[in-house]
Each structure stands twice: as C-alpha cells, then as structure tokens.
Structure 1
C-alpha cells in the first residue's frame, strides 16, 4: 500500500485542502472536521485502498483504516491539509476538539464534553474494577484469609479510585471547561476532606451538622460521587475565567486562585453538593426501578437500541451514569448490556464474512468482527453492518437477546469502559456473561443470514 498516494487521493475526494478545517486520528480512524460535507466523494473514499468505511459522527467525518495503517496515512495526510503531527489543526488556529464541538448540536456537544472528562480516568476505574473482581474470587473460593495483610492491602488498592473519584473528575473536568486542572482537583479534595464523614462502604453512619449562620450544613463527604463535583467544577471554571478578565496580571496569581477556591468551596458544601447528591441519587433510583421492574424487557430494549444510540454520539454521556451506579448500587448493570450490543455486531460481521463472495468485503468483515469482540465496534458498524443495513438490524436483534439474558441473570460489572472479551476481567458473573456473549453473537449471526443483504458486485 502506497500511503502517500492514498493520502493525496483522499485530499482530493474530501473536496480539497481548504475543505478540511481540522484533522486528527485515533487508534483506527482519521477524524476530520469538514467545512462542507456535501463536497465529499464518500463512495470514492470507500473505494480507496485500505479504507474500511467512512461515516459522519460527533461533528467529524471519520475514515476507518485500522490499527497501524491510520498512523502511516496520517503522516502523509497531515502536511497536505496543514495539520500538525501532534493531532492539532493549524490551518484555522483552533484545536481539533474545539473545531469538532463547533460543528455539533448542543446535545451532542454536551455528550462529547462528558466523554472528554471521563475517558482519561477510565484506566483508573478499570484497574479498581479488576482488583474488585480479584478480591471477589479470593473471598468466594477462600484463596486467602480476609483478615490477611494481602487481602486488606488489595482492598485498599481497589477502593482508592472511587474514594478519590471527585479529585480525578475535578482535575479532568476543570481542564475540559477551560479552567486550571489543579484548582479543580482542590475542589474535589474539599468534597472528600477527612473532616467530612466518608460514606463509602457505610450504611448507617450519621454525619455531624454545622451551624453556618443558621443554615445547617451536613458534614457528609462526596467520596465515589460524580454529579456533585461535575456541577461544582463547572461553576468554579466560570468563576475563575470571570476573575481572570478583571484581575490585573500583576496580582492574578495571588487573587484569582484565592477567591476561586473560597467562593467555590462554600458553593460546593452549601448548595451544589447537596443538590448534586439528590440529582445523582434520583437518576440511579429511577434506573434501579426500571431495572428491577422491567427486568429482561429493559435489557431487551436497551440492548437493541444501544447501537442506534451510538450513531448519535449520545452514548458518550453514559460514563457519568455508570460511575454513579458503581458508587450507589455497588455494580454497573448497564455495561454488560452495552457489551451484548457490541459483540452482536461482531456476530453480524462474521455472518457477512461467511456468506459474502466479495474479497474486499471479506477483508473488512473479518478484522471488524474481531475488533467488535474486543470492544471496538466502529469498523463493524460503519464498515460492514450499517453499510448493508440488514446486518445492522440483525445486530440489534442479537444485542436485544443478549441484553435480556444478562439482565435476567443480574450480571454486573465492577467498572466502566470495557466491553466484549476484555469485560471478563471486571464482570461479577463471568459464566452468565459468557452465555450472554454467545447468545448475542449467535443470535446476530443467524439473524444476518436469515435477513440477508444486497451483495455488491
């Protein structure tokens, strides 16, 4: 494959250099912000060597090349459109992330903001979830004494990420909102200060109450919570940016952080924190009622619709809800449902691989199916299933069947972010998760063969 030649052809089919506002790439895709998407020759792009699919989502036109190939194409593509090699655009004077957000509608922009906040901290939550799974195995099969030093220390390691979650979110959210990340971490630290009662793992403890000018302040910490710190840091960012506009540069370093921390700290403990706690508890309570009442029907609906939600980009906002579930419920019952929807696309792509006679489609469907089983669904969704439509519907059927089963058997995960095969590391019931995995995959495979699709010549 001549990567330079592909890059040059790509620029032409995108409508020329001036039609590309910004360019970046992830592990598998080129991510482009385009001035006028009507000028794109989408069919021509999909015929280029190495291209496994192309689609528009989240304010970006995305072209799937696959792991390894996308980096090599970008090396030649970036100079042609005026983008730098650190994935930031230079031709319009703004970052790629800002350019993409500008092209989104408000709801999609909100979902993308939540995604940008939570994606950087997912590794910490995944590590904690895997440790919780290991501790569960140790306790269930009596591998070690729960009073032993190794068990106690591993228990500390597993709970640390959730105890300091407001600090992690505070830092990440402040950076996303355009504020100082360390001030965001300080606000998160205030919300889990040792003077506040730590509710993590406690059920019947009663916090003290302070009399603040006649207003009772409950001394209860926010360990493991999500929404309170998100709302508070959003206010903090507004305060900090507002102060920087009016405070002289000579005293900015002293005055701005000082006033920001004092004002936001009071707001956190007196107003936003309690409201955020009520809001977070309300969301998890509603979901818990739906989960407990509708049962497998909820899994059927959520598993069937998740792939359609992915097309809108709204699924990026689910990380916040899942983190709240981990803190309030003790497990994430949404992630196994999402996993069923994802692996179902692998089953549908496998069926296309099995039946198609088109060599290029076979070359895309095989790796796309494997990618879906590992939790990365874009190649399968946009490169195969959505392209032929009926396999996409078949994947929704498989996801619905698998989703119904994991809800019926109460499968939960100890973290967020991992689906497919990697989720075995953080799931609480690997056996029933594996059965649901097979149901979703086989169901989508059979449904794809039964529904069929229009074969390309």
Structure 2
C-alpha cells in the first residue's frame, strides 16, 4: 500500500506542474519516460518538475517527456491517468466557449509548436519505427532472461525436466515476433492492426516450406521482422485503396479479403525472399565488421552512440538488433553501444570531483548515478554533461574506449551479445550471451564497463573543463554557504555573477 501511495503522490505532484488535467491531451510511457501530449506547452513549470524527487529530468520532443526511470514509470503512469480522468470529471464547464475562429487559430498554433522541432521526414519515419518495436521490448527482456537462465541450467545439468519448458517460454515469442511486428506496423501506419498481423503471420507459417519462389523453397520465418514490416505496410496501402473504391455494402467482405490476398501473394512471391536476403546481409556484415575491425568498429560505435541518441537516430538500429537476435540468438552491437553509458557515468563522477562548490550539480549527480549504473542515462545527459558542454564530448571518449575494448575481443573471436534490447549498464548482465561460455562473456562486458568508466573519468577530469568553464560553474548555489567550504582543484577567480545552469560552449 505504501508503494501505491508513493506512486500516486508522484503523479499528483506532476499533474499541476504540467497545467492540470485539462492541459493533457494524451498519456503514454516507454521504458523510462512518461510521455504527455499537451494542449498548451507554456503552462508547464519545467524547473518545478525537475525538483520533484522522483523526476530525473525532462525532454521535449513530439511529446513532453518526464524521465522517471524503469519500473517507476510503469507504476506512476496508471496513477497519473486516474488523476487526469478524475480532474476532467470534476472540471467546471468553461464560462464562455471559444469561437470557431479562435479554436482554429489555437489548434494551428499548437500543431505548429509541436511539429517545429524534430519534424523532418527522416526523424518522423524513425519515430514510427520506434513506435512499432518499443512495445515489444518488455517481452524481449523477459524471454531473454528466461533464455539465459535456461542456458545456465542446461550447462550445469540441473533440472532437466524443467529446461524444456523454459526453452518453450523463451522461444515462443521469438517464433511469432513477426506477427506482433505486423500488428504494430499496421496500427502505426493507420491500417487495421489485425490485418497487418494476419499478413505477417504468413512469414512464420510452416506451410510456406512447400512454396517455391525465385527458384528455391521458402523457409518459415524467412525475411523475419523486416519482411513482416514490409508486408504490413503493403497491407495498409492495399486496405486504404480498397476503402476508397469498394462500395460500403461490400466493404466488410471485400476489403479484408483483398488486403490479405494481394499483400499475401506479394509477401510470398517477393518480400520474403528480398527481406531474407537483406536480413542475411545484415548478419553477415555485423559479423564481418567485428571480426575484421572489431576494435575500430567498437571505438566508432561506442563513441558516437550518445550523439545518435541526442538526435533520435539510434531508433534506426532497433530493427537491426531485432534481426540479429532472430538470426543468431543475440545482438553483438548492443553491448558495444552500452559502453556509451559507461563513459557517461565516468564523466559524471569526474564532474562531481571537479565542481566541489556546485551543490546543485553534485546533488543531481548523486541522485542520478544509481540509474546511470543501471543504464538509464537521461538524467546524467540532460542534467549534467550536456548543459556543461565539454563533459558530453569526454563522455563520448569514454564510450569509445569501452566500445573498442569489447570490439577487440569480438575481433579475437569472443562474441559478446545481448539476447534482448532495452537494458544497458549493469542491467544488461542477465541478458548476456556469446560463443565462448557465460563466464567469458560476462568478464569481457564487465571489463568494457570498467574501461568506459575509467576513460570517461580521466578524459573529463583532465580535459573536460577549461579555466573559464570552472570559473563559471564551480560556484556555490546555496546563498547561505561559505564560498570556501571546499578546495578548488583549479583555483581561478570566479565572477560574482556566475551561474550553474547556463550551457557552456565547447
């Protein structure tokens, strides 16, 4: 009961700071963030929101996103939804309704404000891809952990009567993941979800083994999630075409039939083969890249992942991860990319020591570090390294060194992979898998984290601050504090007007 009260209290603290129930147009959540659609962005009190104990940070994109962390967000969101519903039910009727012209002007203004940022066609496409795959992550995590547990029991020879059941639990979702991808794709692109799932189900149906296309027999699952994605998109366009041309009296019979028939034939005699070739090429290229240039590839991937996250471009990797998990049982890219978070943690610890007088930033670091070790990097990114400027770059350096470490062992033939996507940092340990035993895989990944922590710390401590940057930020934010309460590691006169919240230039 105490936990429920805490979650409701968090929701109750957030609601008035985003303008109340009447200002909330939509509510959803991902792994770490409460995502809100808002009628009027100006009603949000950003600084007050950041001061709520459970809030790790805020991010503004197509929705207003409040970072609460994994687990917490899934518990706070239902309470927040209840409070919004209660608030709307109790809200008094407006004194005077807006005119049609006023409503149109207000709507146009809100629409322009929401789309002004990050609304390029490419980013919108990547956002759609994320909307398709992100809902699948909890199942991927749960099945991945069960798969790891099953593998451990099999290797130890324990519970032989239970391991087949665990294998079924772990493999069932992956065997049908194409259906879920098809369902979500049709939903995202404006079609009937069940028709997208029906067309995608053709890909995993065992009977396709009796069909020949392009001079060879098809294999169940050929094309995988990429084939399901393409099949469902095609089904949406066929369905929309049918809705325009089929008479309403015949729509209920003709539209679903033509949608499945046309999309199914194209899928069987085209998409499955093409998507299968693309999927195979992705797996082959990933193996080749890490086998021949593992250290260099890890350096680049680990070093540039944080900027990709900042730009939203990391979403393009989700189908690639899923394809590798389908083919090989794990993705070799995620453990390398996870090193970016290790560099971020090391950089934050260095900032903690370099700014002994800035109580505000040090409090943020102390509260955000536990989440950072578990792979939740937003609080450290948006609350520490990005506003400071240089430490964001040196955090990337830490990620590059950690990625190079893991990539080097991949180059030596010790593949380190993850059986699911989503977790990072220490939270990735239960999902690790490889080709040389769990002990070696865990040791390599742990070594990469340590290298990332150390490199991020050293790079930030020695190169993350100029004298001007220290002078601006290494000042007390507590008006009652004495300026000399802590030694200055780089004594430089700080101007009396210096503040700790203005972003610094690189």
TM-score category, normalised to shorter length: 0.7 to 0.9
Q: Distance in 2 between matches of 1:232 and 1:419?
A: 31
Tell me the residue number matched to 1:201. Answer: none
Cα pair 2:26 2:37 within 8 Å, conserved: yes
What is the root-mean-square deviation in Å for CA atoms of aligned residues?
A: 3.9
| Residues 193 and 108 of structure 1, relative CA distance in 2, 3 Å threshold | same
Q: Does 1:420 find its partner at 2:401? A: no
Find out whether 1:112 has 2:127 as its counterpart. yes
Count of matched residue positions in the alignment of Structure 1 and Structure 2: 423
Q: What residue in structure 2 maps to residue 389 of structure 1?
A: 389
1:272 alignment partner in structure 2: 271
Quote the offset at 1:393 in angstroms.
Answer: 1.6
> Is 1:377 the equivalent of 2:386?
no
132 and 31 in structure 1: CA distance in 2 versus 1, 3 angstrom threshold: closer
| Matching of residue 365 in structure 1 with residue 374 in structure 2 | no
SS in 2 for 1:412: strand
Cα offset for 1:10? Answer: 6.8
Distance 2:223 2:162 in 1: 24
**Is this contact kept in 2: 1:60–1:100, CA < 8 A?**
no
Worse-matched range after superposition: 251-260 or 439-448: 439-448
Which residue in 1 is equivalent to 2:144? 129
Displacement of 1:71 in angstroms is 6.7
Structure 2 counterpart of 1:187, from 178, 196, 199? 199
Q: Which stretch shows the higher mean deviation, 66-75 or 160-169?
A: 66-75
How far 1:436 sits from its partner (Å)?
A: 1.5
1:177 counterpart = 2:182? no
State the partner residue of 2:446.
434
Deviates more, 1:286-295 or 1:300-309: 286-295
Determine the structure 2 residue equivalent to 1:234: 233
* Cα distance in 2, alignment partners of residues 128 and 6 from structure 1: 33
- SS of aligned partner of 2:208: coil
Q: Conserved in 2, the CA contact under 8 Å of 1:171 and 1:182?
A: yes
CA distance in 1, matches of 2:338, 2:265: 41
Alignment of 1:44-123 (within 5 A): 45=47, 49-50=51-52, 55-57=59-61, 59-60=62-63, 62=65, 92=107, 104-123=119-138
Q: What does the per-residue CA deviation read over 1:202-245, in whole Å, with 9 as the maximum and x for residues that have no partner?
A: xxxxxx5548xxx7563322268111111111000111122122
SS of 1:242's partner is helix
Pick closer, same or farther for the CA change 1:262–1:306 going to 2, 3 Å: same
Mapped to 2, the partners of 1:433 and 1:262 lie a distance apart of 47
CA shift for structure 1 position 29 = 5.3
Q: Secondary structure at the match of 2:331?
A: coil
Cα distance in 1 for residues equivalent to 2:10 and 2:212: 70
Are 1:343 and 2:358 matched, yes or no? no
| Distance change >3 Å, CA 159–CA 77, structure 1 → 2 | closer
CA distance in 2, matches of 1:52, 1:439: 26
Query: Displacement, 1:251?
Result: 2.5
Distance in 2 separating the partners of 1:164 and 1:240: 23
Using the alignment, how far apart are the partners of 2:280 and 2:198 within structure 1?
A: 24
Give, in whole Å, the separation in 2 of the partners of 1:41 and 1:53.
14
Q: CA deviation at 1:6?
A: 8.5
Q: In the alignment, which of 133, 144, 149 is matched to residue 161 of structure 2? A: 149
TM-score, scaled to structure 2: 0.72
Distance, in Å, in 2 between the alignment partners of 1:423 and 1:365 is: 22
CA distance 1:134–1:209, shift in 2 (3 Å) = same
Residues in 2 aligned to 1:171 and 1:101: alpha-carbon distance in whole angstroms: 30
Inter-partner Cα distance in structure 1 for 2:133 and 2:212: 33
1:331 aligns with 2:336: no
- Judge conservation of contact 2:17–2:44 (CA < 8 Å) in 1: no
Q: TM-score, normalised by structure 1?
A: 0.79
- Select the structure of larger CA radius of gyration: 2
Mapping for residues 152-163 of structure 1, pairs under 5 Å:
152-163=164-175
Q: Distance between the aligned counterparts of 1:61 and 1:414, measured in 2?
A: 31
